[in-house]
Each structure stands twice: as C-alpha cells, then as structure tokens.
A = this chain, B = another copy of it.
Amino acid sequence: MNMNEIIAKKRDGDILSPEEIEYFVKGYTNEEIPDYQISALLMAIFIQGMNHDETLALTKSMLNSGDTVDLSEIPGIKVDKHSTGGIGDKTTIIVAPIAAACGVPIAKMSGRGLGFTGGTVDKLESIPGFQTILKSEQFMEQVRKIGISVIGQSANIAPADKKIYALRDVTATVENLSLITSSIMSKKLASGSDAIVLDVKCGRGAFAETEEQASMLAGMMVEIGNAAGKRTIAAVTDMNNPLGRAVGNSVEIIEAIETLKGQGPEDISELSVILAGLMIFCGGVAATAEEGKGLAKEAIKSGRALRKFGEFITAQGGNPEIIYDYSLFKQPKIKRLITTDRSGYVASIDAKAIGISSQLAGGGRTKKEDTIDLSAGIYLFKKINEYVEKGEAIAEVFGDNEQGVQSAVKIISEAYEMSFEKVQEKPLIKKIIE
C-alpha cells in the first residue's frame, strides 16, 4: 500500500477500504508515516467526508492502536457515559452514584480537562484526600464491592487518536462528524464497558451549534457504537446556557452533592435523572428509559444515591464529611460579586463566555502542563427568566489570582443579556437517539 495513493483516493472522493484505513492509522502511530501526509489526508476526509463503513473502520483502527480494558471479571452490564462537553456539566459525578445505587456497575476511566474547567478527575480531586490513581486490581475490586469507581486514564488508550487529534487541532480539521465520532467512540469502545450513554450538546456553548448538527453527530455515534457491538444511546441536549449555577471544580462538586440531596438546580437535576435513567435502562435494571428515570428519582429521594456517593468517596480515600460541610473544601483567596446596573429578567447567559471566565479565574488549563486552582470558578445567582433588581448580585467569581479574577468579572458582566419580559425557554432535552 502507498500513502500517496490513499491520499489521492480520498481527495477524489472515493471510499477507503478498512485495510487502507488500518494502514495509515498504524503507520502514523508507529511514526512511519509523517505528519504532513496525514494532515493532507485529514483535509481530504474533512472535505470529501467518510461513510458509515469508513467511520467504523477508522474507529476500530484507532481503538486497536493501544490498550483495551477488560472489565469481564466484573459481573453485570457495565455502562459508560460520555458528554461532548458543556459549560457547568457535572452530570457524570451525579449520574454515576445514582446508577450504581440502582445496581448498574460503574467502572469508569475519565480524562483530565483541557479548557474551561478541569475534567471529572480534576473535579473529584478537589475532594480532600480523594485518589484518582488506583491499581487495576484495586479498581476492579472496588467496583465489585461497592459498584462504582472513577479513576484517571492510566492505560495507553487509543494513542492513534491522541496523535491524530493533536494534528487536527492545528490543521483546521477538527469539526468533522466522522472524525469526531471516531475520536470519541474509539476511546469509549476501548474502555471496556458493555453499553454507552452519550450526552450530545447543541448550542452556543457546544461544538454543534444547531440541533440538526448535534442529531447527526449523535446518530453517527450511536450507529458506530452499535455496529461495534456495544449498546449505545444518545441524548441530544441544549447547551445555550450554562448547566446549573456552578462552573469550576470544587464548586461543581458542591452542586453535584446538592443535586444528589434533591436540592440541585432544575436543569441539572432534570438532565441527571434522564441520563441516569438511560444508564439504568441500558444496564438492564429497568425495562424502559422512563422506568429508569423513575428509579433514578427514587434513588435520590430515598438518599441511596447520596449514600453511594459517600461510599465512593471513602473507598477512594476522600473525606466523606465534605458532603455535609462544604467548608472542608480548599477556600479561594478572592471572592468577587458581580452586580448589574439595571433591573429586568435574565434573557440569556453566554455559556462560552462563562467558560472562558472560569478558565481565566484559574479553574481550567490552557496547556497540558498547567496546574488548576481547584477552588477557582463561577457561581451564577441568576439564570434565565430570573428577575434581577438594579444593584443586585448576579454572579460571584472565586480564585486565588487577582488579575485572573478581574478578567473573569469583566467577561461575566458582558455575558448576561437582560430583557423587560420573560423569554421562551428552550427544552433542555431535544431528543433521544438509539
């Protein structure tokens, strides 16, 4: 096989065979094929597209480029969950204990974040003592014993995707459905769970701006997941406004705890029981997604989900007392309130701007090497259709760095749009695709 010919084939809009796809994925991972040939091919793929079979082959080749996790020793249907990324999205931390409390084993490996906030692993590390690095046997043993463990990704999962993604990032070839699908699904499929629940965001704060784009992406991921032999369901959900009121790391853990206590913001509470319901359904514990949602609500109401979260924290070395005493979290040096100069209803909050503020305040990484200030973040007192009096506080910024906090304050002031009347709210859940 010849790389020039493979590039030319895709350039001319032809379909690549699984063997050709395997050839370039393997060659690039082994550093036998140079960057410049792969970037030319990626651009050809971006413009000419890939069909179902090509996307599946690319996903499989990337998944096979590294280690795959074997969870077969753990009894039951293990269910994984993935979100395409939203501002204030702390649902994994909520749905994992809910699903586990309902008997669905959660054996999850999660990444660190590069962006507005940390990833799930970073957020969990804001809990004093919490360990996210466990030996493989410890991890398996914990899931068998208490039904839940979430750790950092230590295995060499889909190294081809890591290399290809880094190249896409600097060659304007990120936003392509097939490339996004294969990137996400190769990692999910390598992680060993039996079923996958996807939360595909659409709106200003997400990759897919429109519901149509998000539905196409969700549909493609579901197709590829099922074709690869894992039951896959996706929810397409709104991401025009930040999810919940907290954006950051420890502030998001606190909001997750509030939600598990049944006191969370409406949007995050609703999304959590729907996603947990899908996981409970996929895990074979409920006969329908609706029944799963009912079980999820019940797990919160009864306090079982919160207790499971406490067990989970304890098992991984964290201090479970934080559940009832938020002062045990590291406290930020600076807290700055943001007030408005006019009265009215909040018409919209630019989710992306809130994300950038969180990052500027110290809550997110811009480079892989950056350390995150786990106490930094944003809290939104006012959300859509809430009334604000002139001079009232709409949000608060936390952080240790004065300059970062100041920049965040400025951006947040401009992220709020006000109106004299209430606006029509968009439904949070657009559709379920399976």
A37 at the interface (CB under 8 A from B): yes
Q: Which residues of B sit under 8 angstroms from A167, Cβ to Cβ?
A: 36
Quick check: is A56 within 8 A (CB to CB) of the other chain?
no
Chain A positions 346-389 with a Cβ under 8 Å from a chain B Cβ: none
| Least distance between A9 CB and chain B CB atoms (Å) | 9
Report B-chain residues with C-beta under 8 Å of the C-beta of A35.
34-36
Minimum CB distance partner of A45 in chain B: B43
Question: How many copies of the polypeptide does the oligomer hold?
Answer: 2
| Range class of the A interface residue count | 20 to 34
Is A424 part of the contact surface with B, judged by Cβ < 8 Å? Answer: no
Which of B7, B39, B44 interacts with A36 by CB under 8 Å? Answer: B39
**Within the complex, which residue of B4, B5, B11, B34 is in contact with A43, where a contact is CB–CB below 8 Å?**
B11
Residue A328 at the B interface, CB < 8 A?
no
> How far does the alpha carbon of A48 sit from the alpha carbon of B8 in the complex, in Å?
15
Best-surrounded residue of A43, A46, A167 (most CB of chain B within 10 A): A43
Residues of chain B within 8 A (CB-CB) of A104 are none
Q: A11-B43, A43-B44, A46-B11 are in contact. Are A36 and B172 (CB under 8 A)?
A: no
User: Shortest Cβ distance from A32 into chain B, in angstroms?
Assistant: 14
- Chain B residues with CB under 8 Å of A3's CB are 170
Instruction: Evaluate contact between B47 and A173: CB separation under 8 angstroms.
Output: no
> In the complex, A79 Cα to B213 Cα: how many Å?
57
Compute how far the CA of A57 lies from the CA of B39 in the bound complex, rounded to whole angstroms: 24
Asked if A322 is at the interface of the complex by the 8 Å CB criterion, the answer is no
Interface string of A42-62 (1 = CB under 8 A from B): 111011100000000000000
Assess A40 versus B37: contact at CB under 8 Å? Given A171-B4, A172-B4, A172-B11. Answer: no
Whole-angstrom distance from the CB of A126 to the nearest CB of chain B?
33
Known: A47-B44, A47-B47, A48-B47. A8 touches B172 (CB 8 A): yes
Query: Which residues of chain B have C-beta atoms less than 8 A from A38's C-beta?
Result: 36
A8 to B3, CA, bound (A): 24
Cβ A42 vs Cβ B44 within 8 A: no
Q: How far is the CA of A5 from the CA of B174 in the complex (A)?
A: 12
Q: How far is the CA of A4 from the CA of B7 in the complex (A)?
A: 21
In the bound complex, do residue B44 and residue A4 qualify as a contact, i.e. CB atoms below 8 Å apart? no
Residue of B4, B46, B172, B173 touching A170 (CB-CB under 8 A) = B4
Whose C-beta in chain B lies nearest to the C-beta of A48? B47
Closest chain B CB from A322 CB (angstroms) = 41
- Which B residues lie within 8 Å of A40 (CB)? 39-40, 42-43, 171-173
Give A328 to B347 CA distance when docked, in angstroms.
92
Q: Chain A 1-25, CB within 8 Å of chain B: the 1/0 string?
A: 0011101100100000000000000
Query: Using Cβ atoms and an 8 Å threshold, which residues of chain B touch A173?
Result: 11, 40
**A-B CB contact pairs (8 Å), 14 listed:** A4-B170, A4-B171, A5-B172, A11-B173, A34-B36, A35-B36, A36-B36, A36-B170, A39-B39, A39-B43, A40-B42, A41-B43, A43-B47, A44-B47
